[in-house]
Structure 1
Amino acid sequence: MKALNMVSYPLVQSSNARIPSCLPAGLVAVFVGATSGIGEYTLKAFAKHAVYPRAYFVGRSRKAGARIEAECKVLNPEGDFTFIQSELSELKKVDDVCRRLKEELTVVDLLWLSQGVFSVIKTTDEDLPYAIALAYYGRYRFAQNLLPLIQKSSSLRRVVSCLAGGKDGPINTEDLDLKLARSPLKARGHLVSMITFSLEQLAKQAPDVSFVHNFPGPVRTNIARDNTAINIVVRSLSFFMGPFVYMAEAECGERHLFLCTSARYAAKNQTGVTCVALEKGVEVARGSDGQIGSGVYLPDQYGESAPASCEAILKEMRENGVKDRVWKHAEEQLVRILGSANAI
């Protein structure tokens, strides 16, 4: 049967409804950036469907964390939900959170990453642009640090990074950290490609783990929270246009839970890993390198793989050594800030 490129919402719902029968009780998940928006919606979908789940979620707002803890408990009284407050733009604090997680957990089945902000103006105390510190270095560092725990899992064994996978663009090798960039829209393709390359690098180290970098489409989030001129414009447009274009929060959460659990996004080496079995007519997705089941995926809001134009951009940069230059620079920055490029 021909595979479905776009996964319908009823198929997503059907797949998620089988989580209790396909996956074991006691799944352990870490949600980073889940105190608002897509991360919150996905965490709640996880709480709703998983059996005896154990979820840690990390964010800045203690008030939001307490609210979401309580709401998840209502959705699943038998689940365990723990909020960790931290400023995730600082890599030293990312390492602190990871140390705590590694002390309290022996395995992680799912790592969700959605921390980010729509800004290229602010700079962190570690001398990185705020947006790239959150969305690129912070996400990579969480995945790198927790990868050994993820590899111990027999269920899911997955990392999901939600930003704009499939919208990858050329990388400016003369300004890898976007210190000279002033337009978030122009910088987006650069940042997205860097995230995709970081996941490809991790997948090379751990082919038994699957990596998803998706584009969620128009969804109500808090990403434009900073009071910069562009964010004020974005919020104004969202206020007037959002109700007509936003995906419903419940559907958003269900669709992202599907990305977290379905065998459609399997690891390159899936031996011994349990996922939710494929729905009839749905097959393993095409990866970021254009190959079916390559282990790194760039689905859009409907689960469809990245277009050929995106794959061509990434391929050209790999062939021209851009990916290697990005990786070398990232390691140099980790050494500068943390003293080592190795996981803690």
Structure 2
Amino acid sequence: MIPLTTIKAANATLSTRLPSPVCVFLGGTTGIGFYTLKQLVASTVSPKVYYIGRTPSNAEIVQKKLEEINPKGTYIFVQCDMVLIKNVDKACEEILQKEKEINLLWLSAGLLRSGVPDTTEGLNFMAAISYFAHIKFIINLLPLLKASASNNHFSRVIRVLAGGLEKELDPNDLDMRKASFIKNRQYHTTSTTVAFDYLAKENPEISFVHTFPGFVKTEGQTFPGVVSLLIRTLMWIGGRWLLVPEEESGERNLFYATSGIYPPSKGAKEVERLFGGDAKGEGEDVALGLDGVEGSGCYTLHWDGSAKSGNKVLLGYRETGFRETFWEHTLAVYKGIEEKYQKDAGEA
């Protein structure tokens, strides 16, 4: 575990290390994303944040709170119902028109639902929310992340889901339609890390972090059904021992989003030299990537910051080329959606 004191000390340096970051927060209006966003705004000098959500009324609350915490920042709400890829494209286009680079793309939006019909674009609802929408945000905003890196500025993508808990995918169900509710969540987790592993290979100047946040009480845990009831019961019974406090969650996730110990693979050796020295404590040295190599660019983190590596499934996907096959399938899904819209427009 990385001590909270170490994390707070590192976050306190953001005012000089990353004083005016340009950030995009998908999932910054509630829950873990909001907790982290508040810490980011409090720790930097003049941040510029695009925070993306569905509900303008929530955005008004967020806007007021952020301005209270740091009136020197710039906070821009972008409305987007991410269940549809076309909405994701529209939201990203708004940002692409306004910015030349971004430093941080934060991805934590999500819902827990079962038995929901497919989206109008033909995707499994939960797969659309948990995987396809998030990856499309990355693809669309990659030019701005790469521009930041090319200027030797900070550049990172972080996804909050269940990093380190990856299991084998069903090669006959890459759209993630057939599995049970629980297994579907495992598929979304593994799919995310496989995609991050591919993206880190193709974009070595950007670091990709997939974290498991632990148990944190959020609004998204309240929804109809047995699963929600079980989650809330577990939180009520074991909350004192299981729950990560709101403030600690924000501090920890801000560290994972901004710390230099999770560098991109390009330039990692230089970072290692900067972090060199004896008697380093945990959280003060370059982390192991998912392949067990220090600073390899793609990281899966437990809630306490410990890096998980050596997953046989993920390493096997590298060796067999399934990582590339899966990525090609993801792109084919987006292409199919685009072609459908083009066809519909032609018939109109």
- Secondary structure of 1:223's counterpart equals helix
- Secondary structure of 1:67's counterpart equals helix
> 5+ residue gaps in structure 1?
1-5
Q: Is the 8 A contact 1:59 1:87 kept in 2?
A: yes
Query: What does 1:141-152 align with in structure 2 at a 5 Å threshold?
Result: 141-152=136-147
Query: Deviation per CA, 1:256-314, whole angstroms, max 9, x where unpaired?
Result: 1101111100011138x99xx75953211111122111100001111101154xx2121
The answer to which structure has the higher helix fraction is 2
- Name the structure 2 match of 1:242: 239
- Secondary structure of 2:224's counterpart equals coil
Query: What does 1:44-55 align with in structure 2 at a 5 Å threshold?
Result: 44-55=38-49
Query: What does 1:1-344 align with in structure 2 at a 5 Å threshold?
Result: 6-23=1-18, 25-122=19-116, 123-153=118-148, 154-183=152-181, 185-270=182-267, 280-281=280-281, 282-308=284-310, 311-339=311-339
Q: Percent identity?
A: 32
Alignment-mate amino acid for residue 172 of structure 2: E
RMSD: 2.2
**Higher Rg:** 2
Alignment-mate amino acid for residue 72 of structure 1: L
Question: What's the CA shift for 1:223?
Answer: 3.1
- Secondary structure of 2:252's counterpart equals helix
- Structure 2 length-normalised TM: 0.89
Alignment-mate amino acid for residue 137 of structure 2: F
Query: Deviation per CA, 1:194-246, whole angstroms, max 9, x where unpaired?
Result: 10111122212211000000111111123334423322322333244334421
C-alpha separation between the residues in 2 aligned to 1:324 and 1:120? 29
Q: Which deviates more, 299-308 or 236-245?
A: 236-245
C-alpha separation between the residues in 2 aligned to 1:278 and 1:17? 17
Query: Deviation per CA, 1:156-211, whole angstroms, max 9, x where unpaired?
Result: 2000011000000000111112211232x222222211101111222122110000
Question: What's the CA shift for 1:325?
Answer: 2.9
Higher relative contact order (CA 8 A, sep 6+): 1
Q: Which deviates more, 297-306 or 115-124?
A: 115-124
> 5+ residue gaps in structure 2?
341-348
Query: Deviation per CA, 1:28-55, whole angstroms, max 9, x where unpaired?
Result: 0000011111100111111100111100
Alignment-mate amino acid for residue 313 of structure 1: V
Alignment-mate amino acid for residue 64 of structure 2: A
Runs of 4+ aligned structure 1 residues displaced above 4 Å come to 277-280
Alignment-mate amino acid for residue 68 of structure 1: V
Count of aligned residue pairs for this structure pair = 330
Query: Deviation per CA, 1:50-85, whole angstroms, max 9, x where unpaired?
Result: 111100100112221110111111110111111112
C-alpha separation between the residues in 1 aligned to 2:176 and 2:183? 10
- Name the structure 1 match of 2:345: none
C-alpha separation between the residues in 1 aligned to 2:293 and 2:114? 33
- Secondary structure of 2:129's counterpart equals helix
C-alpha separation between the residues in 1 aligned to 2:224 and 2:79? 22
C-alpha separation between the residues in 1 aligned to 2:89 and 2:252? 30
